[in-house]
Amino acid sequence: MLEYARWKYLLVAAVLLLAMLFALPNVFGEDPALQIAAKDHTAITDAAAQSVEAFLKTRGLHFERSYIDQGRLMVRFGSVPDQLAARDAVNDQYKDTYITALSFAPRTPEFLRVLGLKPMPLGLDLRGGLYLLYQVDVNSAVAQALEGYATDARRALTTAGVPFKDVGVDGASATVRVQLAAGADVAAARSALNQPLQGLAVSVASDPAGPSILASMTSAQIRERQDYAIQQNITTLRNRVNELGVSEPIVQRQGVDRINVQLPGVQNSAEVKDILGRVATLEFRLEDMQNSAVEAERLGRAPLGSKLYTHTRMGRPILLKREVIATGDQLTNATTGQSQEGPAVNVRLDERAGENMLRTTRANLNRRMAVVLIEKHPEIAEVDGKKVTREVTDEEVINDATIRGVFSNNFQITGLQAGEARELALLLRSGSLATVIYPVEERAVGPSLGRDNIEKGVTALIVGMAGVFLFMALYYQVFGLVADLVLLANVVLLTALLSMMHQVLSLPGIAGILLTVGMAVDANVLIYERIREEIRKGVSPQAAIRAGFEKAFSAIADSNITTLIAGVVLWVLGTGAIRGFAVVLTLGIATSMFTSLMGSRALLTLMYGGRRKLTRLAIG
């Protein structure tokens, strides 16, 4: 008799039933859809959804169905033209209320959605959309850190009363150079700079004009600052993508200093690129009302303690105090709204900035305060006959108003156009980029190409599996049919795991599934050949089945473990398509081991284990 523990039968049956349930949503396909989200980040209510549905019907825009998913309204359409027409209509009617994004919605039945079951999300190469690759200016991030050290050093020396000529920055050597006045007390200067230059490598240099203190960033600090800039930019880009309402986005680091952004389903690429790449922040400053901005512009210099701005919305130059009351980095929220002067941005500051704003407004009633919009962008210039890319900073005074009352962390910014107010609120909400990013590559994948890739990928999978199934059935007869069932179960189990993990499936992922099928076949071939060897030795059929599984286990385990190590390394260290392939490969090894060793044995034991007069096996 050939026996197999009952709990193993139950385990195999339970795993396969759950796998079929989790894999089931992938069977129904998907439709072009419009994703609608509230601009104030609140969840869409049933009443709001009904209002949008009624509006679409009045416009004669037919949709298949709609439902609320994670606080967003998903409206499914039968064709892409209907989807695009609905997007334009909703954007026109609800431009101040909702954010729309082109997407794809699965045709999953309601009972599966209630259980939280979803199909695998498809990658850019299968769904279509926008691919962007950005280069992060990590050197600029280091320069910003040095400027921060230099500012702190000036403040510390001034507070301590130590005379100095200049505090400069050398970006090439990542050094802050403090030029002291002749006869200055070097020991007192070093003592004053202990705190602001903490962690830097400090040394003293002799100079005829006076002693200098050099503070250099270590290689570890430079690397840490560069990594911080990249991670901060990734976080900001993810926030901006989420604000745009794009579904299933991928924002990840690629290589040393690049960021890969994949936006499936996105077609309005010009708007997306403009918002993602903008480096914008705000500064709130008091106006210098004691000096003339016109006179400062004529002389070409501003009075001590003030800064001249010639680019203003008011059409005139303006002098602002150098002391900054609050910056965009201190904002906790920003939303669009309406004021008596038109579109506005409702701003909320953090506690520290709110206290500073409260003190400032309380002490400066009836004086004027301005808002400065600071934007940085790359510019290509020719230097010594060579084209170089440099960072350009644009500063514009967008608002200048009289302080009529005392306020702290809640107020409005006015003087904006409607579209500008929406973009500014989005940029402020999502945070500022740590440094400038340069577009390196842009690639648009059309929905038709995505569908073509899906069809070819699925066709390759079906043809490949059909060839394997036919070979196994012809070569191993009944045992080959058992192997075919096990291979099918393996694909179902792998699909279920990918769906549970919400892992994005791309063309390399489909290749990984095909490779998994081949590896699973290899395991069955090893087992069946061992069984054949035992039968040739004169062992009884049932004993041959038992010996075949037991003796083939070591060979199967060795080959799969070595491949598993490679897959895990690619999973951890790889990015993009490489990581997608590695995820499928690693999970496929686990599922093939389970189905080949446990599933196949359970089925063969069920078929042959209870037969008392078994004389031969249909194994070819």
DSSP H/E element including 255: none
Instruction: Collapse the DSSP code of 532 into the 3-class scheme (helix H, G, I; strand E, B; otherwise coil) and give the result.
Output: helix
**Cβ atoms 233, 136 nearer than 8 A:** yes
Which residues are bridge partners to 167 per DSSP? 178
Tokens found for residue 36 = 């609608």
- Highest-pLDDT range among 206-215, 263-272, 463-472: 463-472
Residues 583-604: tens digit of each pLDDT: 888 999 989 888 888 888 888 8
Output the pLDDT for position 243: 65
For residues 171 and 2, the model is more confident at 171
Q: What fold is seen in the domain 279-415?
A: Gyrase A; domain 2 (3.30.1360)
Instruction: Collapse the DSSP code of 596 into the 3-class scheme (helix H, G, I; strand E, B; otherwise coil) and give the result.
Output: helix
Cα(155)–Cα(458) distance, rounded to whole angstroms?
A: 65
Residues 412-448: tens digit of each pLDDT: 777 677 666 776 776 666 666 767 777 788 777 665 5
Predicted TM-score of the model (pTM):
0.61
Given CA atoms 301, 307, 311, 315 in this order, what sign does their dihedral have? negative
Instruction: Collapse the DSSP code of 267 into the 3-class scheme (helix H, G, I; strand E, B; otherwise coil) and give the result.
Output: coil
Between helices 219-244 and 418-430, what is the axis angle to 10°? 140
Check pLDDT > 60 for residue 270.
no
**Cβ atoms 593, 601 nearer than 8 A:** no
The highest-level CATH class for domain 6-24+448-608 is mainly alpha
Check pLDDT > 80 for residue 391.
no
Output the pLDDT for position 496: 93
For residues 565 and 460, the model is more confident at 565
Output the pLDDT for position 21: 92
Output the pLDDT for position 235: 79
How many of the other CB atoms lie within 10 Å of CB of 511? 19
The amino acid sitting at 471 is: F
Check pLDDT > 80 for residue 298.
yes
Residues 307-330: tens digit of each pLDDT: 899 888 888 899 998 888 887 767
Output the pLDDT for position 394: 81
Q: Which of 232-236, 476-480, 549-553 has the lowest mean pLDDT?
A: 232-236
Q: Which of 108-122, 343-357, 380-394 has the lowest mean pLDDT?
A: 380-394
Q: Which of 384-388, 463-467, 552-556, 567-571 has the lowest mean pLDDT?
A: 384-388
Strands 318-327 and 331-339, how do they pair? unpaired
Residues 22-81: tens digit of each pLDDT: 999 988 877 888 888 777 667 788 888 898 889 998 888 888 888 887 778 888 888 878
For residues 98 and 209, the model is more confident at 98
- Angstrom distances, CA of residue 586 to CA of 18, 23, 98, 124, 503: 20, 18, 41, 22, 13
Mean pLDDT of 371-393: 71
- For the beta sheet containing 250-254, the strands, ordered from the edge strand earlier in sequence to the opposite edge, are 250-254, 258-264, 129-136, 437-445
Percent of the chain predicted with pLDDT > 70: 89
Mean pLDDT of 507-533: 85
Q: Domain 29-107 maps to which CATH number in 1.10.10.970, 3.40.50.1820, 3.30.70.260, 3.40.50.20?
A: 3.30.70.260
Cα(211)–Cα(205) distance, rounded to whole angstroms?
A: 6
Output the pLDDT for position 22: 92
Instruction: Collapse the DSSP code of 184 into the 3-class scheme (helix H, G, I; strand E, B; otherwise coil) and give the result.
Output: coil
Tokens found for residue 63 = 């949709």
Residues 182-217: tens digit of each pLDDT: 777 888 888 888 888 888 888 888 776 678 888 888
Output the pLDDT for position 462: 83
Check pLDDT > 60 for residue 267.
no
Check pLDDT > 70 for residue 119.
yes
Cα(478)–Cα(262) distance, rounded to whole angstroms?
A: 47
Query: Which residues have CB under 8 Å from 270's CB, separation 6+?
Result: none
Mean pLDDT of 547-565: 85
Domain extent listing, the chain: 6-24+448-608, 29-107, 139-222, 279-415
- Identify the band that residue 113 occupies on the pLDDT scale cut at 50, 70 and 90: confident
Tokens found for residue 468 = 């394997």
Chain mean pLDDT for the chain: 81
Mean pLDDT of 269-290: 75
- Identify the band that residue 17 occupies on the pLDDT scale cut at 50, 70 and 90: very high
Q: Domain 139-222 maps to which CATH number in 3.30.1360, 3.30.1490, 3.30.379, 1.25.40?
A: 3.30.1360
Given CA atoms 454, 455, 460, 463 in this order, what sign does their dihedral have? positive
Output the pLDDT for position 336: 76
Output the pLDDT for position 18: 93
Residues in the chain, total: 620
Output the pLDDT for position 16: 92
Q: Which of 260-274, 292-306, 527-541, 542-556 has the lowest mean pLDDT?
A: 260-274
For residues 53 and 451, the model is more confident at 53
User: Do 139-222 and 279-415 come out as alike in CATH topology?
Assistant: yes
